[in-house]
Amino acid sequence: MKVFLDTNIWRYIADTGAFNTLVETASNNGIELVVAPALVHEVRQLRDDTLRKKILNIIASPRLVRLMPEIYLEAEDIKKIMEKYRREWLIPNPDGSECDSLIDNWTKSEGGYWEDVANDISPPVTDESQRGELEHELAQQESKEIRVRINEKKSVLPASLDLKKVYFPLSAENSKPEREFVEYWRAQSLYLFKAEFAIYTSPYREWLDYFIEVSKIESQSDLLAGLWYNEVSINELPREWLRGAFMYLQCFHKITSGTPGDSQLSSHLIDVDVVMSADKNFIRFAKQCRQDAPFSIAQEYLISAGSTGVEEVIQHMRELNL
């Protein structure tokens, strides 16, 4: 059983010095504790040097299961989609050596990304990393702007919401007489990838450029829209559905600096069996997604703050396999 702890819980664990107890409890109960680079990004925003170093050191422990970045996992989903539906966009005999080198940096047991995390060493600045930081800021700004529009229209979240029935109005150039609306996640996801494909320094393109002829996609945007709107199923792009669902739900709640991070973390709800967080909105959104998603995602647990929360996490792990 895989358990994912949100950033706030790792802070409580660092504050209370409970890491060894946590790991031993997990091991004794057949549980793998999972971490992801999105957690690292959030922790690196902390200005308290001592606290930041302490948290980074424990979440980089080799005793934990390390996920690949959510952008890499999404890119792998995109590759499968292109192989199935648009083989004419693939590069013949692709050279994946550069991509393999990147994967090695993320997965090696010694050195590489996670050793730098443990030592609080920031990764080297690249065009892609700078673009990634900008995207985080833009996502936060976009969330705020959507929130303003929601308030202006005095829209409220429906009491009996089903995320599978949330739709987005298509613009005149993208709609057809028989279809003026599309599922929300499809529009949000298509908008993201069209924007990313157009930017050479996109972190998505860092994983996809060797495999896909991006110039062909840009010149055939109508076929890309047709693929996203009409051909791909929810179960083929579950991470896109989750991100779209989280972004939709976030429209009706206060936007914070952690809002884009929550959308990033939502991608991993299909990678684990349980997620625990002290963030009420994150847990509320995860619960709504679990109820409505046409695929299985993690069971959510809301945890108290501080040392009480650490005790709750340990108790939950003792009970999970009962």
Contact 168, 181 (CB under 8 A): yes
**Domain hosting residue 138, numbered range:** 2-319
Q: Residue 93, by phi and psi: left (phi above 0), alpha (psi -120 to 50) or beta?
A: left
Give the closest residue to 106 by CA, choosing from 75, 77, 67, 70: 67
The mean of the pLDDT values for the chain is: 87
CA 85 to chain centre: 24
> So what's the pLDDT on residue 218?
86
Helix H or strand E encompassing 277:
strand 274-277
> So what's the pLDDT on residue 15?
96
Sign of CA dihedral 132, 137, 141, 143: positive
77-117 pLDDT tens trace: 999 999 999 999 999 999 999 999 999 999 998 889 999 99
Q: Look at the block and give the residue holding tokens 């050279």.
A: 95
- pLDDT of residue 40 exceeding 60: yes
CA 204 – CA 195 distance, rounded (Å): 10
106-146 pLDDT tens trace: 999 888 999 999 999 887 665 545 555 555 555 555 555 55
Q: Look at the block and give the residue holding tokens 């050195």.
A: 111
Q: How many domains does the chain have?
A: 1
> What is the pTM for the complete model shown?
0.87
Across 157-163, average pLDDT: 77
Q: What percent of the chain has pLDDT over 90?
A: 64
